[in-house]
Amino acid sequence: MAHRITLIPGDGIGPEVSEAAQEVLAAAGVAVDWDVQTAGLEVARVGGNPLPDRVIDSVRTNRFALKGPCGTPIGGGFRSVNVSLRQALDLYANVRPVKSLPKVEPRFDVDLVIVRENTEGLYAGLELMIMPGVAQSIKLTTERCSRRIAEFAFRYAEGHGRPRVTVVHKANIMKISDGLALEVTRKVATEHPTIELKEMIVDAAAMMMVKNPNSLGVLVTENLYGDILSDLGAGTVGGLGFVPGANIGDDAAVFEAVHGTAPDIAGKGIANPTAIVQSAVMMLHHLGERAAADAIEKSILQQYDERKVVTRDIGGSASTKEFTAELCRLVRLHREA
């Protein structure tokens, strides 16, 4: 039976790379009944709201969504589509695998996963001006959210054959808030005895992600550290165009390209669809479509290794369509093998 999945093509290059992902999934033999829902800048221009309720309802019903980048209207009090989706669906775990692609600089050997708490910390929006010239931002840490993100990270490690979870914190300075998260993570670790727990202060973790990234395994951390380390990680493997991302909750999951709408190249047919295809691969694992996911993963590695048909952002000359056609060809070969 076909999987019913919400597709949010997004703005700018979003529709171009989303179409590529749809074609690759079809080439892998995955039957999908796409529920296409527009959101973002164009939708806001027409109806005033970049994320209408119909989009949230669709993801809630289908439980899985693949999403392209969405622009956020500047001014007017609009919240970003991503933040609104995360909050509406309580997508508390932001998962970013950081893995080198063949011949993509600067590093060729990185393989780690960042699990970022998505709902609290300094992103709870609790800010106030105490008196003129003195502002305060409250970092919210709860036992409940610390526990569920730690549990998610340990389950992820178990499910993906990763022997170690590294909890990233600053509990030497923020003894109460980060101290609580660390304490809870230690407790959760005792419930997962096959996975080793490593503890690391966030500044040391940043250095280690550059010096010896593969010693870290699955990193689990609060919102702000996770935000910064996620982009640091992407930078080590070529940038945001080469890493997939997912926002996962207990009832729904949104898989997305983490790069932006690239207005400078939108409509030119030259965008690199790798990130959204990789995000679709993450989604296939969640859907239990392991063979199709493996075939696409192998094909991406082969295409980058051969470097015959790659896009301009990494020094090739292929259009999005040419890149996608080659990827589909390789996927079919791997499926038949």
As given in the structure block, the two tokens for residue 124 are 């709870």
Pairing type for strands 64-67 and 244-248 reads unpaired
Could you give the CA distance from residue 95 to residue 111 in angstroms, rounded to a whole number?
14
Amino acid code (one letter) for 11: D
Amino acid letter, 125 = G
Q: Is 86 in the site for ligand NAI (CB under 6 A)?
A: no
Phi and psi at residue 46, in whole multiples of 5°?
Answer: -85, -50
82 binds ligand NAI (CB under 6 A): yes
35 is catalytic: no
265 binds ligand NAI (CB under 6 A): yes
Q: Which of 91, 208, 237, 262 binds ligand NAI (CB under 6 A)?
A: 262
Catalytic residue among 57, 203, 250, 251, which? 203
The yes or no reply on residue 15 touching ligand NAI (CB under 6 A) is no
Binding ligand NAI (rule: CB under 6 A), the pick from 43, 104, 153, 258 is 258
Contacting ligand NAI (CB under 6 A), which of 15, 69, 97, 249? Answer: 69
d(CA 224, CA 121): 7
Choose between 70 and 205: whose C-beta lies nearer to ligand NAI.
Answer: 70
Q: Which one of the listed residues 92, 156, 227, 304 is annotated catalytic?
A: 227
Can you tell me which of 60, 260, 291, 322 binds ligand NAI, judged by CB under 6 A?
260
CA-CA-CA-CA dihedral for 214, 219, 224, 230, to nearest 10: 40
Beta strands, E only, 132-243: 134-137, 164-169, 196-201, 218-221
Residue with Cβ nearer ligand NAI (77 or 193) = 77
Query: Residues 11, 67, 123, 178: which is the catalytic one?
Result: 123
Residue nearest to ligand NAI (CB): 260
**Torsion sign across C-alpha atoms 336, 318, 233, 283:** negative
Find where tokens 């993450």 sit.
282
Residue closer to ligand NAI, measured from CB, 258 or 295: 258
What character string, x for contact with ligand NAI (CB under 6 A) and - otherwise, covers 181-220? ----------------------------------------
* Binding of ligand NAI by 44 (CB under 6 A): no
Q: What is the size of the binding site for ligand NAI (CB under 6 A)?
A: 22
* Residue 123 falls in the annotated catalytic set: yes
Q: Which residue, 181 or 296, is less far from ligand NAI as judged by CB?
A: 296
Q: Binding mask 216-255 vs ligand NAI (x if CB under 6 A, - otherwise)?
A: ------------------------xx--------------
**Does residue 324 bind ligand NAI (CB under 6 A)?**
no
Q: Select the residue interacting with ligand NAI from 254, 259, 284, 328 (CB under 6 A).
A: 259
Neighbours of 91 (CB within 10 A): 23
Any residues with CB less than 8 A from the CB of 193 and at least 6 apart, and which?
none
Q: Applying CB under 6 A, does 314 fall inside the site for ligand NAI?
A: no
Exposed / middle / buried, residue 115 (Cβ in 10 Å: 0-12, 13-18, 19+): buried
For the chain, strand residue ranges (E) read 3-8, 32-36, 64-67, 93-99, 111-117, 127-131, 134-137, 164-169, 196-201, 218-221, 244-248, 253-257
Amino acid identity of 286?
A: H
Q: Does 316 bind ligand NAI (CB under 6 A)?
A: no
203 assigned to active site? yes
* C-alpha span between 220 and 153 (Å, rounded): 6
CB atoms within 10 A of CB 99: 17
Q: Nearer Cβ to ligand NAI, position 169 or 259? A: 259
CB 49 → ligand NAI: shortest distance, Å?
16
Q: Distance between CA atoms of 162 and 5, rounded to whole angstroms?
A: 28
Query: Which residues of the shown chain bind ligand NAI in the complex (CB under 6 A)?
Result: 13, 17, 69-72, 82, 240-241, 256, 258-265, 271-272, 275, 313
Catalytic residue list: 123, 170, 203, 227
